[in-house]
Amino acid sequence: MSLEIERAKPIVHVRTRPILMSGAKAFRLSARFAPTAIGYFGRLDILVNNAGIETHAPFWEVTEEDYDRVLNVNLKGVFFATQEIVRHLIANKRPGKIINISSIHEELPFPNFAAYCASKGGLKMLTRNLSVELGQFGITINSIAPGAIETPINTSSSMTQRSSAHCWRRFRSDDWESRTMWLDSLPFWRPLTLTMSQVRRISSTAG
C-alpha cells in the first residue's frame, strides 16, 4: 500500500495552558484535567497521551512503589484521561482523535526496565481494544511506538544500553512532530493499520 504524506498546514494561532497534575490519584487527575481543559478551550477534539517515565532496576529489585509509579503514569493515567475525553465527545455527539505515544518496548524486551515494558505492552493492547470499541462514535485512536527519543528521560546509561543492543535509532523529540501531525490530519472516519514497512516509509518521508 502506498502512503502519501501530506504536510500539515501551518498553525496560525495556538493557545496553551499548563494544568498541574502532580500529587493525586490518576482518576482524580483525569477528572480535574478534562473540565479545566474544556473550560479553557471550549471543546476538545484531539488528545495526545505523551507523559511517560521509567525506572531502571533489575526485576528482582523493583519495589511495589516503583512499579506503581511507572504504571500510574504510563498506563493508568492514559486510561482515565482518555475516558474523560471520550465521555466529553460522546456527550456532545462529536468525533475525535486520540494519539498514544508508546515505545518500541511494547514489543522489544528491555532488561532492567520490566515495569516500563509492561506499561507499554498494556498501552498497545488498550489502543487496539479502544480502536474497535470507539469506532462506532467516530473516535479514532492510534499509537506511535518509536525507539529512544532524545529527552531528559533518555540519557547516559539507558541510552548507552539501547545503543549497545542495536535496537533503536536515536531521534530528537521534534522528529516526531510531523508523525503526530500527520495522524491528526487524517479524516475522523478513516481507520489506520500500518505494517512495519509502512511505518519505516512514513519515518523516511516525514523526517
H or E segment at 177?
Answer: helix 177-185
Average pLDDT value for residue range 127-136: 96
Most confident by average pLDDT, 15-19, 101-105, 143-147: 101-105
Mean pLDDT across the chain, nearest whole number? Answer: 75
Strand ranges (DSSP E) for 21-124?
46-49, 96-101
This prediction has a pTM of 0.69
Q: Please, which residues bridge with residue 139 across strands? A: 96
Question: Is a pLDDT exceeding 90 seen at residue 175?
Answer: no
Position with higher pLDDT, 170 vs 102: 102
Position with higher pLDDT, 177 vs 4: 177
pLDDT for the residue 8? 47
Average pLDDT value for residue range 156-167: 47
Q: Please, which residues bridge with residue 98 across strands? A: 47, 141
Active site residues: 116
Average pLDDT value for residue range 130-134: 97
**Structural domains of the chain in order of their starting residue, each with its CATH number:** 26-206 (3.40.50.720)
Question: Is a pLDDT exceeding 50 seen at residue 75?
Answer: yes
Question: Is a pLDDT exceeding 60 seen at residue 160?
Answer: no
